[in-house]
Amino acid sequence: MYDYLIVGCGFSGSVLAEQLATAGNKILIIDERPHIAGNAFDFYNEDGILIHKYGPHIFHTNSSDIFDYLSKFTEWRYYEHEVLASIDGSLVPIPINLDTINSLFGLNLSSSEVTDFLASKAEKRNPVLTSEDVVMNAVGKELYEKFFRGYTRKQWALDPSELDASVTARVPTRTNRDPRYFIDTFQAMPKHGYTAMFEKMLSHPNIHIMLQTKYEDIKDSIGFSKLIYTGPIDRFYQYEFGKLPYRSVNFKFETLQKEEFQCTGTVNYPNSNAFTRITEFKKITGQTHPQTTIVYEFPTAEGDPYYPIPRPENQDLYKKYKDRAALDEGKVYFTGRLGTYRYYNMDQVVGQSLTLAKKIIGE
Ligand code: FAD
Ligand code: UDP
């Protein structure tokens, strides 16, 4: 008999398992995949290069509480991610910054001049509701079309005008020369990889792990008092109100017989090719190796549910599931990117689970 059955060994389930086990509860945590760590799973491929099975994962947060918490389970390699975009045949920094503008337009503007330059290009939108509004409002049509429209249509199979503002708002516009993709206070990669960090997090005598185990197959044969579910909430309720839309990605890995492939961790391809970006793992993990592995990301409708799709009609459908879940309150808790249908980064999921653990332990 377990106090908690936790479905999903990703960040959201594993943090709860660790917190509840430490508080003295007996935990069974399961995952239908053959490994722990959810979408953050990494491993050494046959060439001996550390790769991320579900696409590149770079940890960043502004929360010292979240960083300190994870630091109990890993040492870090400090790493600040930089991304270039392939535009009209040249590679320029994204987020758009002073260097991007000077390079694309053959100018030599200062920071204050680029502010005026962008203001002259911007098409003011009020209110700012969609992902198109965000970018048009900041940089205008030409840059919107070069950097955002094509990428977004590939990634989501929707026009930016059909997506919430929050999607492209993840990528700011800068008038300085800061080339970093994120500006969070803490930016780092787990020194020995994510999977090693999860192994430590889950290594507690009160935690029992079962892999390759679907919730649906064991729910009636395992004794437990309460359930924590981090899988898709629509799947839990057998799609009672219809399917929540998710976007998936096909990852194509290639190991090359050379030490380096590209000059930065990720290169985005907004308007050319069927893939959105190429990431070179050694750049982000810091591994030295005579070969190098890269991954291409091809967005697709079919496959594992990776991205909830932020737009009003999907939020309305999610609300139906959320209201349904309220009837199970106290028995079943939903959390995580899929359990709460939110486009959350790893740190946000950790924060969400730490808050839920506190609430549950308080009860
Ligand atoms: P998941 O990691 O998806 O874990 C849920 C687990 O539940 C899965 O392992 C699944 O197999 C299991 N499961 C579901 N249903 C069942 C069931 N019925 N029975 C048994 N098991 C079940 N975040 C960042 O902070 N930085 C990044 O650079 C970054 N890059 C990303 C790149 C890509 C391509 C993607 C898709 C995401 C990226 N993220 C990134 C987001 C990050 O992956 C998520 O925030 C995080 O993995 C969410 O953790 P989770 O535990 O909620 O979900
Ligand atoms: N985006 C874009 N062009 C880029 C980078 C991002 O249009 O070069 C848009 C796109 O809609 C993308 C969103 O901004 O899905 C968020 O980008 P982010 O890099 O945060 O996506 P993630 O890493 O979560 O896939």
The Cα–Cα gap between 321 and 239 comes to: 9
Residue 187 has pLDDT above 90, yes or no: yes
Split at pLDDT 50, 70, 90, the class of 195 is very high
Domain boundary among 123, 145, 169: 169
Per-residue pLDDT tens over the stretch 213-225: 999 999 999 999 9
Say if residue 159 is in the same domain as residue 87: yes
pLDDT tens-digit series, residues 325-355: 999 999 999 999 999 999 999 999 999 999 9
**Structural domain contains residue 313:** yes
Q: What residues contact 68, with CB distance under 8 A and at least 6 apart?
A: none
Is residue 279 one of the residues assigned to a domain? no
Ligand 2, atom 11: nearest CA belongs to which residue? Answer: 152
Using the atom order of ligand 2, give the atom closest to the CA of residue 155. Answer: 15
Task: Output the residue whose Cα is nearest ligand 2's atom 10.
Answer: 152
Q: Is residue 53 part of a domain?
A: no
Q: Which ligand is nearest the CA of 230, by number?
A: 1
pLDDT > 90? residue 24: yes
Closest C-alpha to ligand 1, atom 33: 55
268 domain-assigned: no
Q: What does the pLDDT look like over 110-126, one tens digit per residue?
A: 999 999 999 999 999 99
What is the residue-wise DSSP string for 100-155? HHHHHHT----HHHHHHHHHHH----SS--BHHHHHHHHHHHHHIIIIIIHHHHHH
Residue 254 lies in a domain: no
Give the distance (Å) from ligand 1 centre to CA of residue 159: 25
Whether residues 226 and 313 fall in one domain: yes
Nearest ligand to the CA of 29 is: 1
**Looking at the structure, do residues 25 and 106 belong to the same domain, yes or no?**
no
pLDDT tens by residue, 131-173: 999 999 999 999 999 999 999 999 999 999 999 999 999 999 9
Its domain, for residue 102, covers: 83-169
List ligand 2's pocket residues with C-beta within 6 A.
85, 94, 147-148, 151-152, 155, 167-168, 170-171, 268, 270
Q: Do 234 and 333 belong to one domain?
A: yes
Q: Is residue 20 part of a domain?
A: yes
**95 and 154, same domain (yes or no):** yes
pTM greater than 0.85: yes
Which amino acid, one-letter code, is at 330?
Answer: G
Query: How confident is the model over 188-199, as a mean pLDDT?
Result: 98
Ligand 1 atom with least separation from CA of 297? 34
42 alpha carbon, distance to own chain's centre: 14
Total domain count for the chain? 2
Query: Do 101 and 162 belong together in one domain?
Result: yes
Is the domain of 6 the same as that of 155?
Answer: no
In a domain, 16, yes or no: yes
Counting every residue written for the chain, the total comes to: 363
117 with 223, same domain? no
Among residues 22, 28, 48, which one has the least CA distance to residue 292? Answer: 48
Task: Please tell me whether residues 158 and 104 are part of one structural domain.
Answer: yes
Q: Establish if 227 belongs to a structural domain.
A: yes
Q: Look up residue 83 and give its two tokens.
A: 């991304």
Q: How far is the CA of 247 from the centre of ligand 1 (A)?
A: 13
- In this model, does residue 363 exceed pLDDT 90? no
Question: In this structure, what CATH number is given to the domain that contains residue 220?
Answer: 3.40.50.720
Do 149 and 239 lie in one domain? The reply is no
Q: In this structure, are residues 85 and 276 in contact, taking their beta carbons and an 8 Å threshold?
A: no
pLDDT over threshold 90, residue 312? yes
Q: From 97, 138, 94, select the one nearest 119 (Cα to Cα).
A: 138
- pLDDT tens for residues 251-294? 999 999 999 999 999 999 999 999 999 999 999 999 999 999 99
* Per-residue pLDDT tens digits for 50-99: 999 999 999 999 999 999 999 999 999 999 999 999 999 999 999 999 99
Same domain, 130 and 209: no
Do 314 and 235 have their domain in common? Answer: yes
Select from 119, 151, 169 the last residue of a domain.
169
